Structure 1
């Protein structure tokens, strides 16, 4: 009789464990299917445009041992790129003014380009020197 009682207790414990396991599994399955779906946020496309300005002492449009970088030069950066939609041929234009740092570098970060064909952006930015304190032949490299 002790053996039968022990087996009965073991069966009851197994049933309880099975019921609890089934209940937990059901909660997991239903909880995931009933909870509102949150789509993972789409990462924002970002492009950084960098360039430098230097003085071309020899006036040959290349950097030589006589050239030097210019700080404090104001530069206007203009980028044009195609909209990402296949239903339109619209062009998006972005422009910003930046001042070169002590190494002649300027940089602008263009964020939130979700509506742009970012691949078309790489070769469609131009920079123009707006002002400088010196009257030297300046070259801008983007």
Structure 2
């Protein structure tokens, strides 16, 4: 009887420790995404786009009301253009986004700052959003190539975003 009581106490202690560990890890998140070279300067990925290894991105979280930066972490993309940023703590009341910082490719290093705004991928870093996984996926971010590739005209025609030189029809009508 004493032996079974000791086993029960030991099992209860192990369960309690595992619950404490689970609660501790529950507010750990990973923001993951990728960086590409926008070889056609279209501001979206095409079949000519390629991922950029060694690019730097920054994850920033700010207080919603004041805009004060509460977290700023940089990451460098791996050989396939992907990155992962680890975050401790729930950021439910904050606005978080990933921005481009620096490209490792001098031919593809321009950060678009046109009327569409800055290159940024917003992410929700909270467990109160219905997402069970601790991984938060950010949209791909692209550096603009200095000059579009010569093949870009054909790609834009395939996507019906450029006029067909053999037709008088405007594909955007």
TM range (shorter): 0.5 to 0.7
Report if the CA contact (8 A) 2:103-2:109 is conserved. Answer: no
Which consecutive aligned stretches of 4+ in structure 1 deviate over 6 angstroms post-superposition?
A: none
Kindly tell me the number of residue pairs found equivalent between the two proteins: 99
Matched, 1:95 2:80: no
- What are the within-5 Å matches in structure 2 for residues 29-48 of structure 1? 41=20, 42-44=23-25, 45-48=27-30
Secondary structure of 2:24 counterpart: coil
Pairing 1:119–2:92 present = yes
3-state SS, counterpart of residue 98 of structure 2: strand
Q: Which structure shows the bigger proportion of residues in helix conformation?
A: 1
Is 1:57–1:137's contact at 8 Å kept on the other side of the alignment? no
Q: TM-score, normalised by structure 2?
A: 0.45
Equivalent in the alignment of 2:153:
none
Which structure has more RCO (C-alpha within 8 Å, separation ≥ 6)? 1
Contact 2:52 2:105 in 1 (8 A): no
Unaligned 5+ segments in structure 2 are 3-15, 112-118, 120-139, 142-173
Deviation at 1:119, TM superposition (A): 3.2
Distance 1:120 1:47, change over 3 A: farther
1:134 deviation in Å? 2.2
Over the aligned positions, Cα root-mean-square deviation in angstroms equals 3.5
What is the DSSP-based 3-state SS (H/G/I as helix, E as strand, rest coil) of the residue aligned with 2:100? strand
Does residue 79 of the first structure (1) align with residue 71 of the second (2)?
Answer: no
SS at match of 1:119: coil
TM-score normalized with structure 1 length? 0.53
Contact 1:74 1:97 in 2 (8 A): yes
Matched, 1:59 2:11: no
